[in-house]
Each structure stands twice: as C-alpha cells, then as structure tokens.
Amino acid sequence: MTATTHTLAFGPGWHVADVICTAGAGDRPFEEAHRDFCVAAVTSGTFRYRAQQGTAMLAPGALLLGNPGTCYECGHEHGSGDRCLSFHFRPAYMERIVAGVPGTKALAFDAPRLPPLPALAPLLAEAEAARAMADKDAFEELSLRIAAAAVATVSSATPARRPPSRRDQKRVAEAVRRIELDADGPVSLSVLADEAATSPYHFLRTFRQVAGMTPYQFLLKTRLHRAAVRLRMSNDTISAIAFEAGFNDLSTFNRRFRRIMGETPGNYRARRSSAPASGRLG
C-alpha cells in the first residue's frame, strides 16, 4: 500500500481527508475511480494525474479536479511521494454549491486540474494550517469555499491549446521539487534550465505551460505559502518568519504578501484569533 488516507472532518454530503502517498518511479501508476466530486489541494510533492478531462502534472498549490463515476490514474515517474488535502462532495451537495456560484451552469469539471493561482493562495494556506492544528470545525466552511473557488475558476478558464509532452512534465516536476527544497535560498532560472538540459527560454515557456506560472512566481508562491502557514500556527515575529522563508527584506515581504494574500501579514495573523467558529448549514 503506497497511500494512506486519514479523514479529517465530514458532514452530510462532504468529507475531507489527508492523503499521503509514498509511491515512486518504480511503482505502477495508481488506478481508481472517483465516487464523488473531488477537489484535492496538493501540499507537497508532484505526480501525474490522468482522468477523463485530460492529463496534467500536479505540483504544490495546484488543485486536482475529479468527477463522480470517472476513472483516474496517478503516476510518480517524476519523483517519489506527495501529500494532498482531498475534499469530496456528493453530487447533490455539489449541485447546491454550483447553484450559488454566479454565471456557472455546468456541474462537471472539464479540466483535470487548476494550477497554483495567486487568488487561491490565502485559502489553501488556511486549509493547510487547519490540518496542522487539527481544527475539525474549520473544514466545513473551508470545503465550501474551496469547492466554490474551483467551480468559479474553472468556469472562466481557457483550456491550453496543446498539452505538454511527458518529457516536459518530467523536467518541470524535477524543477518544482528542486524549488521546494531550496525555496529559502536563491534559485536561478539558468541553473534550473541547465539541470533540465534545455535553454532558459524554452524551460521558462515549458514551466509556465505545465505548472501554470513561471519558476519565479512558483518560488514566491512557495515562500509566501510557508510564511502564511507559520503566521497562523506560531507566535514567531513577522520578520523572523519572512527571513526564514527566504525574503531578505521585510518591506518586500510585506508588499508581496499583501499583493498575493490581500492583506498585511499582521492583519492575516490577527484573523487567526478573531475568526468566529464555523457554524452548520441550515
């Protein structure tokens, strides 16, 4: 068994699980079927996801999208292991969510994933912090917000013209893991391109197509996400968190955090203690 699943919270029509996979390049791709709608936030590692909607490389910050009754396959030829926060919704429950998203009519996902997007960054950091703190009460509201965000984003997304090759996906997956390991230090585009045995321009274009953002944007996302989780979970000073995340200048960290998260680090942390307890749906 290469995957372990731990249910974090559940309710009528929904549940969320922490899924840890240890499969590697030598293991056969994992095949199964989605029983419900699935929106899984990748929190570490990379893997290839193939479903009825298409094939995509999943990296931290991306959302895996699954439709009920459809088969899927996950492979780890790019590297070992991954971890996801997996949200599941019964069709009737999802139908109510879709009905509440303006301008959305289709119930099924027509894309296999959403790339790491700045608009989703605060929400995913909040979900990962809730997992780390075993905050079961927070997940009912978080599941609704994540499902609605995925539905709204997919509805306005433009599909890629030409899917990337497996070789390109492998190159980008290896670069993503390198960035994750070295996110607190300098990461050079030219070094990443050299390691991928390609030109910097081709690597940049391929990375953006596969990961949904540039290498530098992914590096910033990784740093800001880690800082956001620590702001919710620890009482360390904001400057210490910023420097340990890889930012050399506090004002730069504050500016970028506010641009991506929509508020200052101080206000983001303050909401940790002032957020009301989540209630039940009526």
pLDDT digits (tens, 9 = 90+) for 192-219: 989 988 887 778 888 888 888 888 889 9
Q: What is the pLDDT of residue 90?
A: 95
Cα(37)–Cα(235) distance, rounded to whole angstroms?
A: 37
DSSP character for 97? Answer: H
Please say if the pLDDT value at position 28 is more than 70. Answer: yes
Please say if the pLDDT value at position 30 is more than 80. Answer: no
Please say if the pLDDT value at position 274 is more than 60. Answer: no
pLDDT band of 33, cuts 50, 70, 90: very high
Q: Phi/psi of residue 111, each to 5°?
A: -130, 150
Q: What is the pLDDT of residue 280?
A: 35
Q: What is the pLDDT of residue 276?
A: 46
Q: What is the mean pLDDT of residues 46-55?
A: 93
Residue 182 CB partners (closer than 8 Å, separation 6+): none
From 77-81, 155-159, 193-197, 277-281, the region with the lowest mean pLDDT: 277-281
Cα(251)–Cα(263) distance, rounded to whole angstroms?
A: 14
User: Mind listing the domains of the chain with CATH numbers?
Assistant: 3-156 (2.60.120.10), 166-274 (1.10.10.60)
Q: What is the pLDDT of residue 26?
A: 83
Amino acid at 3: A
Please say if the pLDDT value at position 44 is more than 80. Answer: yes
Bridge partners for 43 per DSSP: none
Cα(249)–Cα(237) distance, rounded to whole angstroms?
A: 14
Cα Rg for the chain, rounded, in angstroms?
18
- Token pair, residue 214, equals 């540039």
Could you tell me the strand order of the sheet in which 71-75 lies? Answer: 30-33, 71-75, 47-51, 54-58
Q: What is the pLDDT of residue 279?
A: 38
Cα(87)–Cα(123) distance, rounded to whole angstroms?
A: 13
Which of 237 and 140 is assigned the larger pLDDT?
Answer: 237
Q: What is the mean pLDDT of residues 236-262?
A: 91
Which residue stretches of the chain are H helix? Answer: 91-99, 121-132, 139-156, 166-181, 189-195, 200-211, 215-233, 238-245, 250-261, 265-274
Q: What is the pLDDT of residue 187?
A: 84
Cα(57)–Cα(168) distance, rounded to whole angstroms?
A: 10
Q: What is the pLDDT of residue 1?
A: 52
pLDDT tens-digit readout, 99-136: 888 877 778 999 999 999 888 988 999 899 889 988 88
Q: What is the mean pLDDT of residues 8-27?
A: 92
pTM of the model: 0.70
From 18-22, 55-59, 74-78, 83-87, the region with the lowest mean pLDDT: 74-78
Which of 189 and 274 is assigned the larger pLDDT?
Answer: 189
Nearest alpha carbon to residue 58 among 114, 126, 135: 114
Long-range contacts of 132-138 (CB under 8 A, 24+ apart): 132/229, 132/233, 133/232, 133/233, 134/8, 136/8, 136/9, 137/9, 137/277, 137/278, 138/278
pLDDT tens-digit readout, 162-184: 677 888 888 999 999 999 998 98
Cα(154)–Cα(119) distance, rounded to whole angstroms?
A: 13
